Every structure is written in structure tokens, then in C-alpha cells.
Structure 1
Amino acid sequence: MTFAVALVPLVATPFLLWWIPLAGCGAGVTFAVLDLIYDDVPAANLAFGVHGLLCLAVAVWLVADRRRQAAIVAEVAGPIHLDTALTERLRVAFPRWGERTAAAVLLVLGGIGGLAWYGHRAAQVAAHESAAVRADGVIRSVDNTEGTIAVEVPQPVEVDVVGSYEAGQVIPVLVDGAWVRPVAEPEDVTGWLGAGLGALCLAALLLVREQRMRSAGRRLLGGPLSAVELTTELDDHGRAVLPDGMAVVPVVAAPMRSTSPLVTDEDEERTAEEIEDFGRQWRGDGQESEPQTVTVAGDLRDGGWVLLISDSVVLLPEAPLRMPRRRPEVTKAPPGEPLPPMDTGDLPELPVVLWSRPRDRVLGALSLLGFAIGPAVVLAGAPDGWWQTVLALWAGGHFAYQGWCRLNTRVELTRSGLVAHGRGRVHHVPWQRLYGVRHDEKGLWLAWEPGSTFQIGGVADRWGAVMMRLRELSLAAGDPGGRVTSRLGGASAVVLVYAFVAIATVWWQHR
């Protein structure tokens, strides 16, 4: 039981060092103390003692470094006051109890269930042990793969074991009817205890994180803030990157837009200026965007919470500021080179279907055979154990899905727009909503509103020029066009049918 409890901080340490470094250091120190108290193996005491000291040293360094950062910022920061109307709008928009809370509730329920099941199983084991009689059993067979032995007492009974045994060996066992256990290996049900405690600890961390976010919101919106002006860019994960990658701020995906000093209701819509800037960049008509200057207001240090304020946008934090382990990748420029519209001349007859390169389609057809190969391998009895069965069926489904996507990737050109058949979805894009077409060694890249991209290989560059010409003609005609729409493609049906076949295969094998 003690080991099951101590295992929780041991397993949590590497995860927490990545997620919440100070909590990870605390978990490492906690396990080191528990090991010194309850473990009588000197080598383990030494190893985990050193590990605990290292965690303690890292914790001290983190606290000291955060204080040093706060002192440096205090020397250059100045106070700012948020407009009252803006503060009220931000108070409503600030992240509240959300997915983390729901996950914490589910973890609490799971943790309580794990502890309850542990209590039930522990009572069962105690009842068996009190009623059991001691006898000598002969091992008739050993299955090291499954970790079981067959003990004759006098009828053969299969028993799960951890140690190594040999056929013909005589071992003392406890027998209570059909319940048989080696005396040297009492039945261990503490795994449920460890799982339940781990779930409760993770739930507590999530709730503490949510509460810290709410407290940070009250601090940020409750009075004057220390602020400095810095440049920032967004990285590929939607985080604001401060100068030279010195820190990242995870921000809410939909910013609050302000018409100084108020905030408009366009929380989830991109501005027309942003859309046009992206389109010009994709077509190669604009200049490369420069980092934006923003006011960083709040607790500017590792683990602190800040607001990012510009002339028109307020970015709200959804997590504390972090010092990255490596320089973050800022959003890259569009791939390849832009394709201009084709010269005036006759356009091809429409509709036209552009398929991916033949090599990709052949590979797709071969991969699609996984639809039959995965279940066939299982029915042939090749997998040894349930996990190999799951692996074989998963591999078959993966190849079937990838094969279908490769085989059916295409772009259809019509007079009103293009239809792009991609992985899992089919997109209908009016020509007026097409940003542009670019090309590189992989093929053609298409982009359309509001920010979707699509890649198809093996298509000649002239077809990209044709698309740009059709876009140009539609814009010149003044046709407003419709909205971009998308729907599920045939890949979803393939996944559902394969899931049914996989379930039927498992049922047939175990009927």
C-alpha cells in the first residue's frame, strides 16, 4: 500500500516538471523523503536522495530567478490604468471554469471509483486469506509471456505471478475454494489505490490552475498594472512570443477587439484588414509582416499572468507566462512561390478534375488493402494476445484511411468555384474566396478564406495559373459569390465501416 501511494509522486514528477515545474520539484522531493523513510535498500536511498536534492535545488533556482526577473521589470515598467468600460468587457470575456474544470470533475469521479474498487477488492482478498488453508502445490506449466502458472491443488488452477518459476517446482500456496495464491506473492490490488490517488491529485492540480487563472483575472482587472512595451509575434501554436523568444504567453484564440476605449462584439470574426493582409501575403502582393508592438501589462516573469494590449486588440491569457526551453517557431511565410494568373486566352472546358500524381494514387490503392489485411491477420490467429490484436486492427485501419485519402485527393474546377477533396472533408470554395495559389517541389498549394490551406501533388503549374485567372474574372465581374462550405467526405464512411468490421472480427474470433 505504501508503495502504491509513493508511486504517485514518482510517476508525476517528469510530467509535472514539464507542465508545472515547481509542482514537479515538490513531487520529486516528496518521493525522495518517502523512499528514505520506507525503503531499506541503500542504493535506492542514495539514488532517490540525490534526485530529491536536485529537485530541491531546481525549485530554489526557479523561485530566485522569478524574483530576479520581477526586480528587473520593476526598474523599467510604468503604471497603466485600463478604461472602466474596457475592464468590464474584459471581465466578462476572461476565461472562466471550462474544459479543465470538466476534466477535473471526471477525474474526481474516476478517482473515487478507483478508491472504492480498491476497498472492495482489498476486502475480498482479506476474506480469502482469512478463510484459506495452506498447502503445497505443484507447478504443471509456466507461461512467461502472459505471466501465469498452472498450479495443481489438486486440480490445475491458473494463477497470475510476478516471479520466475519452473515446471515441476513445488511451492506453498493459500487455497480457498477456486481462489489460489502463492504464499510468496499475496494478491496485489493496490494498483487501484494508486490510480485513484493519481486521478484525485491531477484533478486537484487542474482545479488549482483554474482558480489561479480566476485570481489572476481579478488582479489584472482590479487596479493599476505595471507595464512595458515589447514586440510580439504569434508562433505555430497560437502563443504570443516576446522578443528573441525570451518568453511565450498562451493566449485565448479569439481576441477582444477594441475601438478605443470600448470593445466591439466581433470576438470571433477576423477583420477585413487581417483577411486582406493574409491574401496579399499569399499572392505575394504584400510585404512580410513585422513584429507588432504591444503593451505587456501585469506580472512579467516566468509563471506570471499578463495582458497584451495594442491599439485595437486585447489578448487575454489562458495560461501563465513561460520561459521556453527552446526558441519558438514563429508563424512561417506561405510555402513556395506565388503563381500569377494565366495570360489572356481561351480557358479550358469546365468542369475539370485535377488528380494527385499517379504514384500517390497507386500507393493509396495498395494501402487501401489494409481494410482486408488487418481483419484477415486477426482471423488467421497470427496475433498473440489482445494487444497484438488491437495493434493489427489499428494498423489495418490506419492504412485503409491513408489509402482512401491518397486515392481520392483531387480538385475539381467549375465555373462558380473549386471543390477540394481532402483528408476527411470536401470544401466548396467560390472563386471570390480564393486567396491565391503557390507552387513548390511538392505541388500546388491553395489558400482560401478565412485561413485554410490545401496541398495537391503532381498537378502542373499551369492549372494554378488557370485558377488565378478564374478568380480574377469573377472579381472583375463583381459577383459577390457565396460562403466557403465544407462537408464530411468518404473517408468518414470508410472509418465507420472499418470499425464495424473490426468489432465483428473480434466477436467472430472469440465467439
Structure 2
Amino acid sequence: MRGDLAARWAGSVVPSWLYRWLLPVVWLGAIVASVAGDTGRCSIEDPTVCGPDRTFSLVMIACFASLVLLWWRPIVAAASGVLFMVLDLRYDNVTSARIGWTVYGVLCAVLLIWIVTSRRRQQSLAARMPRQQVQVPAAAPIGVTSRLLVAAGLVLVGAAALGLMHWQDQREETHVRRAVEQTAVVKGTNDDGDLVLQLPDGRSHTVTVVDDYETGAQVPVLVDPADPDWLRLRAELADYTFWYTVAGGAWALAVLFLLRDIQLRRARPRRFWNGQALPVRIEPDASAAFAVRSADGAVLLGFLETDLDDEESDLRLFDAFTALDKDEEAAPAKLKREWAETLKRYRGDALLVGDLAEGSWPTLVLGDHVLRPVSPFRAPRRMPWRAESTQGLSEQHSDTSKPSESTVDPAREVPTLPWEVPLQTRAWWNLPAFIAVLVVAPVAVGTFASWGDWYAAVMATVIGAQLVHSLGSRALYRVTATATDLWIRTGWLERRLSWRFVESVEVEEEGLSLEAVDDWHVVGGIADKELANVAAVFETLRLRSRTGLPDEPVARRPSPVLLINAVYVAVCVLILVLTRWNPF
């Protein structure tokens, strides 16, 4: 697919902002119209107004689905919106609600028709392009996927919801069978907005209500003689039918996850198969998917998440996507070069086997590599002022032949060992703040506990522990080099790295990177002026250490920060216990 045809394909895509942002706003507007226009009062003659209403709870499944699924399954969401419009017109007698949901339902119907015709148009345009026959090897077995596990969990959630509703209904029916009707007088409301009622025997009872009641009004209630704490307004019986919405929503989601898993398996036949392939150009994207462009690279068609049949290769590719993450700029240069080399093997001219349309499950063939889909193909997301773009390998990442920033030469002289590495000057307030927290926090815990404010006392203990860990980690950070090991004290643990297992020392912007046993260890916080000297000393110690070293390449032991943190928590817990059992 090239040039004008590719541009026409991209122009046929439904702008995602319509269903990801506009329709949710209209949905909220319909909700507001429904609530604002509902002026009906709770009624004994029609207890479904403020009481149990199974039909309403079941219909609300479609209502919530028409919102929640807009970001994931817009076709299902639009269909749910149309269904809810029909049901609302059938059962709702609130004029503003009928208008609001009719507007929303019509927009959902337009969106549904637009998406369906758009995808057919995309398939038609893609079919006009010359294709070539390719043979795709059989896919590896899939086994139990996370989608199946989630679906099974949702089925259990739905069953548990119905079970809980059944138990609550039985308990409520027991109270209702024993209940007698009385007339209570409204005395007012409390600070929580609950209604305070006075019963004929003089007792007061607080109950949460839906409707508004004037002070002094007489309200029919049901009272259980066997349970003085149970009371229900005749017009507002207990409603547990919302569990139908929970159970139905969970089961509907389970079905969608199951259907998505079936689509995944159909896109990965466990046999050799022939398909019509369309030339495209692909490149890894920061979204952990592959950006699919037209064959000339001029038009971005969409994104496809894939994986490889070989688990080891797929794991390397998954790790390599980290190179595109802006948060990984501090990673060692050599590791970033390895990631970039891996990503370069998976970009260039490829063949797309299958339909090229939103929601399709095509396979990508790149040389000897077969990239199989794990989710449907999606077009770039659009806003009125911009469209989604790709974030691939930069020129700096692409140049994998670029050598390391610097070659570390061994130091001619090594300081007296053990040697404490010179670090950057810490903020002057770090150590005083650390000591202040150790002194003030237990006092605050004891003060709150003596006042009876146990929540504040517990929160002071938790926050104080976090501050002790954070400030202590900075104040007590140390890097110590011996003839055999490098000790790095960070947080609760001190990490030991044996020099014998260090394969290289590299100077980075954030400090030194040590490669050891297929892993990287970054040593930060070193004074900038001493960085080159420290690197030279580390290189000397690495080269000198050849015999007599421990077998463990990496080991850990508790640091003083952990001990101080434990003592602090123990003191605070002791204060809470003593205050609880021996209040001052």
C-alpha cells in the first residue's frame, strides 16, 4: 500500500476522539438530565420507585457498558448505547431522561454505522493493492492465557454477587415476615444527612433515606419486634437488586474476554497456512507495539502488538522495547546499545498477512521472523488538533556501532583499602531532618494516642517510618571498595559485588555502570570531579582480583537503615500498646 491509496485508507478511519471523549461527555450529560428531571416521590403504592427494581438493575448493565467499553470495544459500547435507548424509552417516564438518552442512543447508532462502514471501506481499499502468496509456519501452542484467567475470575465474581444478594434477600424477608407496621414522626436529620425518627414507644431511630421528609411528618414504617435495630420505611424497602448489575456486568465482561481469547487462537493456527500478504514497513514503537506504515513509509496506518514463537527471542524483544522508554535514559550505554541492536532486527520492509482494517488480527512476516498478533490492529488515535505519532529509535540509538563514551584505564595507584568512595555533598538539612523525625515522630504518635485519635497515631507511625527510610537512605548512603568486593549501601540493604565477576566498568552521566553476570549495577552519587578517578580505581581492582574470592557474585545484608527503621517502628508500636492498655 503506497501513496494516495494509503492516504485514503488513513482518511477512512473514524476519529477516536468521538468515542473516547465526546460520547462519554454526552453520557454524563444524559445522567445529569435523568437525575435532575426525576422529581417523583417515593410511594407505598409503587415501591419500585425507591425500592427493589430488578428491571432497572438489569437495564443498567447496558447503560454502564455503553460507557466503560468505549475505550476498549467501541462497537459493543455503541450497540449497548442503542439497546439502552430502546429500553429507556420503554420503561422510563422522565421526560428529560428520555430526551438525554435518545440523543446519546442516536449518536451511538451513528457511530456504530460509521465504524462498520469504515472497516469495510478499509478492507476494500486494501484489497485493491497487489498482494503475494506467502506460507506462514504453524504457531506455537498458546495454553491458558491471562484473558481466560480474568474471564474465570469474573464468572466467580458474578456468582458471588448473586449469592450475596440471595443471602441479603433471605435475611430481609425474615425481618419483613415478623415486622409490624407503625407510624413514626420525623424529628430531623443528623450531621450525616440520615433521617431521625421517633417511634410510638418513644424510641429514636436513625435511617438512611432516598426521599426528602419534612420535620414533623408522619411516616409509615416496618419494625421487627425481635430485632429493635431493624427498621424500614414502607416507601423505601431495602434494595439489593444492584447485585444484578454487578453480576451481569461481570459475566458480560467475561464473555468479551473469552471472545477475545478465541480471536487470538484463530489468528494463530497450529498448522502451516497460506495467505495473501500486503507489503508494509514496520518499526518498534514506545507503546511496545509495532508501528505499521505504508510500503513507502509515508503514511502511518496503525499499531499492532505482537510476539514471537520463540520464548527466548520474544523475551529479548520485550526487554529491548525498554530502550524506547524515556524513563530508561539512565540505563547503561552498553545495555541501551544492545537493546537498539535487537530492535533494529525487527524494523524495515515486511509483509502483512490478513486483513488490513481496524479490529483485524493480521500476522507480520519480517524475513525469517513471524510476528503474531496478541491484540487487534488499531489505527492511530486522533484528537481534533493532532494525531498519534510513532516514537521509535532515535538516530543516537540507531547508531549501534558507536563506541562507549569513554574507555576506563586502570589507576596506577590504589588508595588504602578498604576505601570509602568520595560522594557528592549532601544537602545540609538531610541528617538533621533524619534525627528530627526519629525524635519528633514517636512523640507525635504518643500525643495522638493519648488524645484517643488512633487513626492519626497509626498514620503518624506509617508516615514516620517512610520518612525514616527515605531520609536515612540518603544520609547513610555509602560506597566502599575492598580488594575483593564492592559494598553499596542503599536503603534497607547493603549489596556486595565481587570484583571477580565484574566484566566491565563504564562511565555514565549518572555515575558508573558495572556489568556483572548478565546484569548491570549502577553506582550513583559519586562526586563529579572524582568520577574518572573512581572509575580507574574500580578498573584496577577488577583486573587485580583473580583468585581467592567468594563464589557468590552478588550478595546482600541488612544495612543500618533497616535496623533504625525497625527500632523506630518497635518504639511506636510499644507506645500505642502502652497507651491503649495504660492510658495517661
Q: TM-score range by the shorter chain?
A: 0.7 to 0.9
Distance in 1 between the 2:60 and 2:460 partners? Answer: 32
Shift of 1:175: 1.5
1:66-465 → structure 2 map (5 Å cutoff): 66-74=119-127, 75-83=129-137, 87=138, 90-92=139-141, 95-140=142-187, 142-145=189-192, 147-153=193-199, 154=201, 155-164=203-212, 170-177=218-225, 178=228, 179-218=230-269, 222-235=273-286, 237-243=287-293, 246-252=301-307, 255-256=308-309, 266-267=312-313, 270=316, 292-293=347-348, 295-299=350-354, 300-311=356-367, 313-325=369-381, 326-330=388-392, 338=405, 341=408, 344-349=411-416, 350-353=418-421, 358-359=426-427, 361=430, 379=449, 380=451, 402-403=470-471, 406=474, 411-415=479-483, 418=486, 420=488, 432-433=502-503, 436-439=506-509, 443-444=510-511, 446=513, 448=515, 454=522, 456-457=524-525, 459-465=526-532
3-state DSSP class of the match of 1:185? coil
Deviations 1:228-281 (A, max 9, x none): 24131241x4222334764222234xx445xxxxxxx7446649xx89x99665
Shift of 1:213: 0.9
Q: 1:261 corresponds to which residue?
A: none
- How has the CA–CA distance of structure 1 residues 97 and 339 changed in structure 2, closer, same or farther, with 3 Å as cutoff? same
Shift of 1:411: 4.7
Shift of 1:81: 0.8
- How has the CA–CA distance of structure 1 residues 413 and 54 changed in structure 2, closer, same or farther, with 3 Å as cutoff? farther
Q: 1:262 corresponds to which residue?
A: none
Distance in 1 between the 2:140 and 2:337 partners? Answer: 40
Deviations 1:119-151 (A, max 9, x none): 222233344335433222234563343x53343
- How has the CA–CA distance of structure 1 residues 463 and 100 changed in structure 2, closer, same or farther, with 3 Å as cutoff? farther
Structure-1-length-normalised TM-score? 0.74
3-state DSSP class of the match of 2:172? helix
Q: What amino acid sits opposite 2:134 in the alignment? A: I
Distance in 1 between the 2:571 and 2:390 partners? Answer: 42
Deviations 1:70-113 (A, max 9, x none): 33333144221135xxx2xx323xx4322222222122112101
Distance in 2 between the 1:189 and 1:148 partners? Answer: 19
3-state DSSP class of the match of 1:295? strand
3-state DSSP class of the match of 1:242? strand
3-state DSSP class of the match of 2:274? coil
- How has the CA–CA distance of structure 1 residues 17 and 397 changed in structure 2, closer, same or farther, with 3 Å as cutoff? farther
Shift of 1:21: 2.1
3-state DSSP class of the match of 1:129? helix
Q: What amino acid sits opposite 1:183 in the alignment? A: R
Contact 1:241 1:328 in 2 (8 A): yes
1:4 aligns with 2:66: no
Q: What amino acid sits opposite 1:79 in the alignment? A: Q
**Mean Cα displacement is larger for which, 176-185 or 374-383?**
374-383
Deviations 1:205-245 (A, max 9, x none): 2222212111221289543342424131241x422233476
Q: What amino acid sits opposite 2:123 in the alignment? A: A
Contact 2:189 2:195 in 1 (8 A): yes
Distance in 2 between the 1:23 and 1:488 partners? Answer: 54
3-state DSSP class of the match of 1:19? coil
Contact 1:433 1:484 in 2 (8 A): no
- How has the CA–CA distance of structure 1 residues 107 and 269 changed in structure 2, closer, same or farther, with 3 Å as cutoff? closer
Q: What amino acid sits opposite 1:36 in the alignment? A: L
Q: What amino acid sits opposite 2:103 in the alignment? A: V
Shift of 1:319: 1.6
Shift of 1:499: 12
> How many aligned residue pairs are there?
480
Shift of 1:15: 2.8
Shift of 1:117: 1.5
Distance in 1 between the 2:566 and 2:262 partners? Answer: 40
Distance in 1 between the 2:493 and 2:314 partners? Answer: 23
Q: What amino acid sits opposite 2:237 in the alignment? A: P
Shift of 1:45: 1.4
Distance in 2 between the 1:498 and 1:331 partners? Answer: 47
- How has the CA–CA distance of structure 1 residues 185 and 304 changed in structure 2, closer, same or farther, with 3 Å as cutoff? same
Structure 2 unmatched runs, 5+: 1-53, 294-298, 324-330, 382-387, 398-403
Deviations 1:461-495 (A, max 9, x none): 24543454356557867969989757697799969
- The structure with the larger Rg is 2
Distance in 1 between the 2:570 and 2:64 partners? Answer: 33
- How big is the alpha-carbon RMSD for the aligned residues of Structure 1 and Structure 2? 4.9
**Mean Cα displacement is larger for which, 63-72 or 489-498?**
489-498
- How has the CA–CA distance of structure 1 residues 3 and 200 changed in structure 2, closer, same or farther, with 3 Å as cutoff? same
Q: 2:46 corresponds to which residue?
A: none
Distance in 2 between the 1:500 and 1:105 partners? Answer: 45
- How has the CA–CA distance of structure 1 residues 246 and 82 changed in structure 2, closer, same or farther, with 3 Å as cutoff? closer
- How has the CA–CA distance of structure 1 residues 286 and 303 changed in structure 2, closer, same or farther, with 3 Å as cutoff? closer
Contact 2:411 2:537 in 1 (8 A): no
Percent identity, aligned pairs only, is 22
